[in-house]
Structure 1
Amino acid sequence: MAALRPTGGMPPAGRRAFLADLSPAYFGLVMATGIVSLGAGMMGLPWVARLLFLLNVAQYGVLCVLYVLRACRHPRRFFGDMVDHLKGPGYFTTVAGTGILASQFIVQTDSVRVGFVLWAVAAALWFALTYTIFTAFTVKRDKPTLDQGISGAWLLAVVATQSLAVSSALLAARIGQPFRLELNLMALSMWLWGGMLYIWMMSLIFYRYVFFRFSPGDLAPPYWINMGAMAISTLAGSLLILNAPQAPYLVSLLPFLKGFTVFYWATGTWWIPMLLLLGIWRYVFQRFPFQYDPLYWGAVFPLGMYAACTWQMDHAMGFGFLAALPQGFLYVALLAWGLTFAGMARRIVRILRTPARA
């Protein structure tokens, strides 16, 4: 599980080493910033939402450049990580990050054309990565054992799938025919497939939890995706419920949509106390060092997504009594985002200063 453990202090290496070692999961930064921005916009903090949106556009552009440079200068590392059981699923953050940025353009700027282009890029990345990674995992000769090969990062495949469901539903709500019905069908299909994928993967992850030795280093931040995958599934289901008047086949499925949306939300809610207890065990009782790692964005994202999905579900289901819950989680997500961003900034400064010290 070493690939998912925090790296600790920055070794005496320069910018070239940073590029070679760039985490495949670094687009989690875009995922986390994007959903916190969307949540802030939902809950009456427009200036926070706007600031984070502009920052996210810049972050997305920088990461695209870095990933392309890594693929060109370090192709063995770049593509080798893609077929590694622990690192490979991290590439699904590129899909989820692109899909969430598409949702930001659609919701926060009404730029349907830009949103559509990003949605198309996310769909192409989803198709390429899904069938590349899982085919490679299936046919490769040397495979790790279950306890050494699976982690919560695998659920990034679910998040990527549901991000397409969310962006498809948002596009469908803002365009006319001939594509409205087709986009709603794609959103529905991705929502259903993401749920099935979660059941498959979560069964293996939970089995690994309770039947194999579990050390503090194994509890990497992506385990928060256990909750985040259900949260984004809830958000997608809520949007499908709101889109039902636009598509007759969604109207006929409304009881199913509402039931499974609440089911996803309840499952995600169950995970929160469990993950908090495991975090206390890791950092308090086992005294595991708390230092910045890119994987911590995989813990910030679920907090923001839970706030956003709870707000949207409360609206779609007409509950009216859950308003305080998403507000509280939004502020927790903003705090977690700020602390993680400060850690990232400090790490970048150290990297930039390394050649001078050498």
Structure 2
Amino acid sequence: MEEEQGAARQVPAPRAGSTLLDRRASLFEGPVGRLRDLSPAYFGLVMATGIVSLGADMMGLPLLAQALFVLNLLQYGALCVLYVLRAIYHPRQFFGDMVSHLRGPGYFTAVAATGILSSQFLVQAGNVAVGFSLWLLAVVLWIGLIYTIFTAFTVKADKPTLDKGISGGWLLSVVATQSVAVSSALLAVHIGQPYRLELNLLALSMWLWGGMLYIWMMSLIFYRYVFFRFLPDDLSPPYWINMGAMAISTLAGSLLILNAPQAPFLVSLLPFLKGFTVFYWATGSWWIPMLLLLGVWRYGVQRFPFRYDPLYWGAVFPLGMYAASTWQMNRAMEFGFLGGLPHVFLYAALLAWMLTFAGMVRSVLRAGRRPPGTV
């Protein structure tokens, strides 16, 4: 009995706060811990869903458009919460990704997603107040991210070589810029003077800047294509943004053409607007066969495994955007003969969206069943 009492006295008492520490450790190994590796480009989910919803609304599919609109609201809210939690619990990864040459441009999906959701509220819900608030948020995010990211890329001491540091994901900065142009042009339609002219000027300026940014970046990306070794792993889904950036530029140009009667200075620029809008559309159209051939080479010839990746939303979005932009350009330019093409690409985008969404749900369910602390 005395030996048992002595042994009991030698057992250390539980440390105060040890339960709290254990809970904190468990939290960081569980769902919050998994936020450490959340892709900066996950707002591509909202971009893809939003443009398919807008395309469906344009082409007379209101039930599908409204269902995707509601879903997009939920997705946007959930991602905002997840990104805030990641910034709080994993600030080193959150801000470290922002200055990474490969991962940093993914943050521009937050700008584009906000701009597209603003457009949805303006077009599908007719809610100018919420649309304006989201447009303002998109502008603030654009200013903050574009100068933070590119300043960091410029001044950082250690930089990757061109073949290791650039990808099609860099063109998300163009998409973000043009999303502000699109939402500004749409907001100008729904708002009166004295701000209608200013919004159209902002839309025009962002449209022009986005085009210049595309020329700079596409020159580097194309140079990387043809003068450096290209492996299947290098052909990530965001390379479809090569086309998507031109598609959203076409959409912005088409809206500016339609807005010309409201802004006299746009009337004088109509030949320029129409010429460059067709130029953007033709460039985006050229990329489609090229990207399909590269996809066949990646998955068919090189046998690259086909599994879910958040970056695949960057391939769904361009398909939906090409459908929407072609529909608007056909309307703005009064071509008429392009009427069937937007429907083909809308259904292709919808199919791609469903397959990617199913892959995402399966990935989330598998991650939920995975024991905490495992990869």
Interval containing the TM-score (normalised by the shorter chain): over 0.9
Assess if the C-alpha contact under 8 Å between 1:159 and 1:229 holds in 2.
Answer: yes
- What amino acid maps onto 1:106 in structure 2? L
Cα distance in structure 2, aligned partners of 1:22 and 1:14: 13
**1:143-222 correspondence to structure 2 within 5 Å:** 143-222=159-238
Question: 1:221 is aligned with what amino acid?
Answer: P
Unpaired runs of 5+ residues, structure 1, are: 1-12
Residue type at the aligned position of 1:345? V
* Matched residue SS, 1:214: coil
Q: Please tell me whether the aligned partners of residues 14 and 351 of structure 1 are also in contact (alpha carbons under 8 angstroms).
A: no
Q: 1:333 corresponds to which letter in structure 2?
A: A
Match of 2:361 in 1: 345
Q: What secondary structure is seen at the aligned counterpart in 1 of 2:281? A: helix
Q: Deviations over 1:139-175 (max 9, x none)?
A: 0000000000000000000000000000000000111
Partner of 1:19: 35
Out of 68, 92, 96, the residue aligned to residue 108 of structure 2 is 92
In 2, the alpha carbon distance for the partners of 1:215 and 1:102 equals 38
Percent identity over the alignment is 79
Query: Alignment length, in residue pairs?
Result: 346
Alignment of 1:298-309 (within 5 A): 298-309=314-325
Partner of 2:90: 74
Is residue 2:370 matched to residue 1:354? yes
How does 1:285-324 map onto structure 2 within 5 Å? Answer: 285-324=301-340
**1:357 Cα deviation after fit:** 11
Measured in 1, the distance between the counterparts of 2:88 and 2:217 equals 32
Q: Distance in 1 between matches of 2:207 and 2:257?
A: 12
**Could you tell me how far 1:15 is from its partner in structure 2?**
1.9
Q: How does 1:320-339 map to 2 (within 5 A)?
A: 320-339=336-355
What letter is aligned with 1:172? A
- Contact 1:102–1:115 (CA under 8 A) maintained in structure 2: yes
- Consecutive unaligned residues of structure 2, counting only runs of 5 or more, are 1-28
User: Which of structures 1 and 2 has the bigger CA Rg?
Assistant: 2
The answer to whether the Cα contact below 8 Å between 1:14 and 1:352 also exists between their aligned partners in 2 is no
Determine if the alignment matches structure 1 residue 255 to structure 2 residue 271: yes
Provide, for residues 324-348 of structure 1, a one-character-per-residue CA deviation record: whole Å limited to 9, x for no partner.
Answer: 1000000000000000000000011
Alpha-carbon distance in structure 1 between the residues aligned to 2:361 and 2:274: 42
TM-score computed with the length of structure 1 as normaliser:
0.96
Report the Cα offset of residue 355 of structure 1: 3.0
Within the candidate set 54, 61, 64, 2:77 is matched to: 61
1:354 Cα deviation from its structure 2 partner = 1.4
In structure 2, how many angstroms separate the alpha carbons of the residues matched to 1:97 and 1:309? 17
1:211 CA drift (Å): 0.1
Are 1:34 and 2:34 counterparts? no
C-alpha distance in 2 between matches for 1:99 and 1:160: 8
Match of 2:291 in 1: 275
State the distance in 2 between where 1:20 and 1:182 align: 41
AA aligned opposite 1:306? Y
Q: Is the 8 A contact 1:14 1:354 kept in 2?
A: no
Partner of 1:240: 256
Q: Larger relative contact order (C-alpha < 8 A, sep ≥ 6)?
A: 1
